[in-house]
Structure 1
């Protein structure tokens, strides 16, 4: 896809890595994490369509769904086995790639993957399960407010007017990903899929994150052959931003395992 803003934090050229950000943010927040990794990896990233400095998401009738489009962009960065890092929706893209091409992944760090299909009962209590309905009723502000109350670093009312407008404009992308995240449209959880990942996997959660995050991690960990678990105390969903020291330290642990 054209109009994708690429990001690069140079490091060890023999240790390529790719980091994938969450919804309603941009790849810029990997900068502090990369700084703390001190060049151990040559880290690349990008702003997903409709985010950061990338072009808006205006799909044509024959274009893939949003999650598939982001997955294809991410896959275009991979030319040899690399360390793959993902947060939230970005972690579901990373997991999708690892299931499809396990030989392409050297290590896999999943920070709060929001693959709700892995824990459907817990997922039903989450705000994004209501976003479709709110948007259909023309209540974009309410949808955005509810989403940020659980998954943001600030409440909707704490944001500047410019940021509120940006968030409202992007909230539809969250709804567009619901069939993938809640229904597992790409079959990430298919039989034998997670079990095929031979790279070391680390699942990182925030201690104060919603229960569904921990239930998802439980479900994934039960099927992954080589998996570690870590919980960052007093952290919520946006821990790569709020707790970069802890997150980068844990990423480093998984790099050592590979």
Structure 2
């Protein structure tokens, strides 16, 4: 793992915030969100290893997995309580941090958290099995296509060839996170963990997202002390990119609650 590219949008220095992007994305898509928040928070983001302008992800000598590595990078940006915002994989990293250090979180906004262990789903398990089979048999582009066609902002085959190539190279990271997302190897769902978060939590989902997302939101919401729910009409999984007005507005509401 080499250099991590940091992104920053200036705002209220007394209101630091950290935003964590999705798998196969990069922190640049928080720019339109930051613009709409209009300086209410001093927002920082970073490109995860193997994403955006950060260096490639390489297996760690100590055996650290990708999700753990990203969590440690994110935690390194926290030196006082802040507003923590995450989307998809980034939402699971945000949640992992909040469970481990609830005092570090002023507010927690979870956009489409993909913590599948919270709501086991046969359809999602079938998708994971198909993806794994593609990779085992050297069909990485088919694996990427199947993933993006469900979770992306547009169908894989409509993307530029360069984007298709990048996503094909990244698809192995999706499988590498399975132990955390589907089996909760990190213990995010441990007894008393979610309940220990006393900061206001907001869970945001897209109306057209896969059903498992809404079931995950149900399962998580039932355990938080202070939680709000929102569904963005006509939106899918990539709503920070496709619906920045609504996404920023909802984040703002949770900032107000803190």
**TM-score interval, smaller chain:** over 0.9
Q: 3-state SS of the aligned residue for 2:84?
A: strand
Distance in 1 between residues matched to 2:148 and 2:60, nearest whole Å? 29
> C-alpha offsets along residues 167-213 of structure 1, whole Å, 9 cap, x if unaligned?
10000011100111000000100000000000000000000000000
**Contact preservation (8 Å) 2:11, 2:41:** yes
Which residues of structure 1 form unaligned runs of 5+? none
Query: Could you say which residue in structure 2 is the equivalent of 1:118?
Result: 118
Distance in 1 between residues matched to 2:142 and 2:225, nearest whole Å? 41
**Contact preservation (8 Å) 1:122, 1:211:** no
**1:65-76 equivalent positions in 2, closer than 5 A:** 65-76=65-76
**Contact preservation (8 Å) 1:107, 1:201:** yes
**Alignment CA distance shift 1:126-1:40 (3 Å):** farther
Q: Does 1:203 align with 2:199?
A: no
Q: Does 1:244 align with 2:250?
A: no
Q: Does 1:15 align with 2:18?
A: no
The alpha-carbon deviation at position 121 of structure 1 amounts to 2.6
| TM-score of the two chains, using structure 1 as the length reference | 0.98
Distance in 1 between residues matched to 2:13 and 2:138, nearest whole Å? 49
Distance in 1 between residues matched to 2:12 and 2:129, nearest whole Å? 41
State the aligned residue count.
258
Distance in 1 between residues matched to 2:243 and 2:162, nearest whole Å? 25
**Contact preservation (8 Å) 1:19, 1:30:** yes
Q: 3-state SS of the aligned residue for 2:121?
A: helix
**Contact preservation (8 Å) 1:122, 1:215:** no
Query: Could you say which residue in structure 1 is the equivalent of 2:187?
Result: 187
Q: 3-state SS of the aligned residue for 1:154?
A: coil
RMSD: 1.1
Query: Could you say which residue in structure 1 is the equivalent of 2:82?
Result: 82
| TM-score of the two chains, using structure 2 as the length reference | 0.98
